[in-house]
Amino acid sequence: AQSVSQHNHHVILSEAASLELGCNYSYGGTVNLFWYVQYPGQHLQLLLKYFSGDPLVKGIKGFEAEFIKSKFSFNLRKPSVQWSDTAEYFCAVNARGGYNKLIFGAGTRLAVHP
């Protein structure tokens, strides 16, 4: 069965610290990979996506993620976090080709302290 695992449920950082959130997936075929973010009181927004090509993808607000096929991983990174990055981050995957449902990880709550 398809599944997505996010290793950290709660992360607390100080401003300017570096961030890496882990995401591993289980799926037998070719996948698309996503990170979504939900800021406090706001709706779910797309942070970045990987469909094909360069495995290092860049998203909004200085975030990037690297797809490592051999490890079934799609970790999210940011070199220097800001207080405004406080949010919940969801990794998601769907099968490539066609209109396919998203499988979400459990989410990681990030709190950035000034």
Q: Which residue, 17 or 95, is less far from other proteins as judged by CB?
A: 95
Examine residue 104 and tell whether it contacts other proteins (CB under 8 A): yes
Q: Which residue, 10 or 80, is less far from other proteins as judged by CB?
A: 10
Handedness of CA 4, 46, 31, 73 (dihedral sign): negative
- The 3-class SS string of 31-64 reads EEEEEEEECCCCCCEEEEEECCCCCEEECHHHCE
Query: With CB under 8 A, what is the number of residues at the site for other proteins?
Result: 21
| Window contacting other proteins (CB under 8 A); options: 17-25, 68-76, 79-87, 100-108 | 100-108
User: Residue 7 is encoded by which pair of tokens?
Assistant: 């290793």
Which one-letter DSSP state was computed for residue 99?
A: S
Q: Which residues contact 12 (CB under 8 A, 6 or more apart)?
A: 110, 111, 112, 113
Which residues from 24-63 bind other proteins, rule CB under 8 A? Answer: 32, 34, 36, 43-46, 49, 51
List the one residue from 12, 16, 68, 106 that touches other proteins (CB under 8 A): 106
Chain residues in the site for other proteins (CB under 8 A): 32, 34, 36, 43-46, 49, 51, 90, 94, 97-102, 104-107
